[in-house]
Amino acid sequence: MGILLRAVMYRDLCGCRCLLYTFILAASLSFAHDKGESWLQVSTPHFTVVCNGNEGQARRIADQFERMGLILHTSFPNIQIDPIVPIVVIAVKDARDFRALEPEAYLAKGQLELAGLFLHAADKDYVLLQTEAAGEHPYATVYHEYTHLLLSRIAEDPPLWFNEGLAEFYQNTDIYNKVFFVKQVTAYEIYSLRHDHMLPLTTLLAVDHNSPYYHDEQKGSIFYSESWALIHYLEIKDFQDHTHRIADYALLVGNHVDGVTAATRAFGDLTQLQSALESYIQRLNFKAFRVTNVFDPGESSFKVRSITSTQAAAVRADFLAHNHRENDARELLSQVLRNDPNNVLAHETMGYLEFRAGNLSQAEKWYEQAVELDSQSYLANYYFASIAMNQEPDAEDDKRIESCLRKAIKLNPSYAPSYDGLALFYEKRGGNLDQAHALSLQAMHLDPGNVPFRLHAAHILLSMHCENDALALLQATIKMAKNPAEMAEVQNELEMVKQVKYLREPSR
């Protein structure tokens, strides 16, 4: 759901309820930091933490995120916790540093104060945290969105009740050395469950992005609350009965079984489940979910090093660029490049800003410089090649484009756009179509829900005179279109393939 903002309401174990709203003053956007400020970078198997706190804080944050990934991996063994794109955690000490980076929409007077947010961009995932945040669950939003990110790797479009229910369930996680707790949801949602009309499970399980229960504020309240309650009930039952019904359900929907059928197979009779859920909700107390923590995040392998304030500023500038604060990003990048003209990330971020602004020649120059400074940046290699490929390259340029795309694949074999880019390169140059087809298949395998990849693959099949295969691919793609524009694009491609097939028929 993007950056999730909610008024966080807490309920203690004795049943006391309170509602806490905190407001912030106008933000100070100064990027000035004390010259003596120190920054640390902690590298773990799945995260990079950049922190201006002490080493203990930086290690603790890294440990918490590694454990959170292991918790979800244990519940869903098929989940892929290895990051496809970098997950960078920026942990800052206080509210001033946090406000200098958070989205502009939340800087106005009277907005709720954030303690953490998750930023999911096309090529990077960022977490922004305030290490001295107050409150019982200051990072609920971050855990919520991280759960969404990992669930997207189980199924390309998981059922909404499942996606939102699990995110609501795990957002209140407390992680300690030996145990973890998933506590209750907010008092408001418990009240909503007990006093609003619950949705029939057949309705809840079928809610999609077009449903009023997902978009309408009043109807959406019971959708979120009931989704959480059903997950909570099933998680408790799985734990008590030593079963794995939720994991079974995830496997079924990952294999494209519709949500209601998958629920019947995994959970049994839905009428009986509805009755059991209603009875569970009417109890006076919900149980906190407590599990002995047997997860080893491999802390001994964490690599800690000091980084300069300029290096940290480059990371913050990249976050601002992906956070749509372009002017602030450019201001900070100019400082970085004055202090360190060879900073690779700064060049890469400038390329990203120019690319998004439509200044392709400038973007190409920045990415080219980034590649020359450090050929180990897969994003710089990919973007330089992709932009150059759409110019008017000569034979020498073609060699470099192909080399950069192959290097991008080697540096990050899980990054699907590099395969798609190289496939298009071969198709456009009119040769090596078999390899182009193999590359496009790999791109679709890595990102099966990506409609443009499938359109490119169909075009390659058409170039190979495989019209029937192209038609079959496009007909399957129609079901994956996420909006009218994508639907129209698929339909246009489908009609074009049909026309080509008609003209190529032997009788013509």
Written as tens digits, the pLDDT of the chain (508 aa) is 332 222 222 222 233 222 222 222 223 334 444 445 789 999 998 899 999 988 988 988 888 888 888 888 877 877 777 778 778 999 998 888 988 998 887 776 655 567 788 888 878 889 898 887 666 666 777 888 888 888 877 776 788 899 889 888 888 777 766 566 666 555 666 666 766 678 899 999 988 877 877 766 556 578 888 898 899 889 888 888 889 999 899 889 888 888 899 999 999 999 999 999 988 887 756 666 666 655 667 777 899 999 999 999 999 999 999 999 999 999 999 999 999 999 999 999 999 999 999 999 999 999 999 999 987 899 999 999 999 998 877 788 899 999 999 999 999 999 999 999 999 999 988 778 999 999 999 999 998 889 999 999 999 999 999 999 999 999 999 888 878 888 999 999 999 999 988 888 876 5
- Answer yes or no: is 309 within a domain: no
Q: Under 8 Å CB-to-CB from 423, ≥6 apart: which residues?
A: 435, 436, 437, 439, 440, 443, 456, 457, 460
Within a domain: 150: yes
- How many CA atoms, within 13 angstroms, populate the side-chain half-sphere of residue 365? 4
pTM for the full model? 0.79
User: CA end-to-end span of the chain, whole Å?
Assistant: 51
Tell me if 383 is assigned to some domain.
no
For residue 487, the domain's CATH number is: 1.25.40.10
Return all residues near 495 (Cβ < 8 A) that are at least 6 apart: none
3-class secondary structure, 474? helix
Q: Determine contact, residues 451/486, Cβ cutoff 8 Å.
A: yes
Q: Does 72 lie in the same domain as 208?
A: yes
Report yes or no on 342 lying in a domain.
Answer: no
Q: Which range marks the domain in which residue 270 is found? A: 9-292
Residue 67 lies in a domain: yes
Whole-angstrom Cα distance, residue 20 to residue 136? 11
40-45 long-range contacts, CB within 8 A, separation 24+ = 40/304, 40/305, 40/306, 40/307, 41/304, 41/305, 41/306, 41/307, 42/302, 42/303, 42/304, 43/302, 43/303, 44/297, 44/298, 44/301, 44/302, 44/303, 45/82, 45/298, 45/301
Q: Can you list the pairs that 450-457 forms with residues at least 24 positions away whose Cβ atoms lie under 8 Å? A: 450/416, 451/477, 451/480, 451/481, 451/482, 451/486, 451/489, 451/490, 452/420, 453/416, 453/420, 454/480, 455/489, 455/490, 455/493, 456/420, 456/423, 456/424, 456/427, 457/423
**End-of-domain residue from the set 292, 317, 341:** 292
292, 323, 352: which is the final residue of a domain? Answer: 292
Tell me the CATH number at 76.
1.10.390
Q: Give residue 52's identity as a one-letter amino acid code.
A: N
User: Dihedrals φ, ψ of 306, to 5°?
Assistant: -80, 140
> Residue 15 falls within a domain, yes or no?
yes
Paired tokens of 429: 């140059």
Domain boundary among 292, 312, 329: 292
Count of domains in the chain?
A: 2
- Note whether residue 59 is domain-resident: yes
Q: Is residue 236 part of a domain?
A: yes
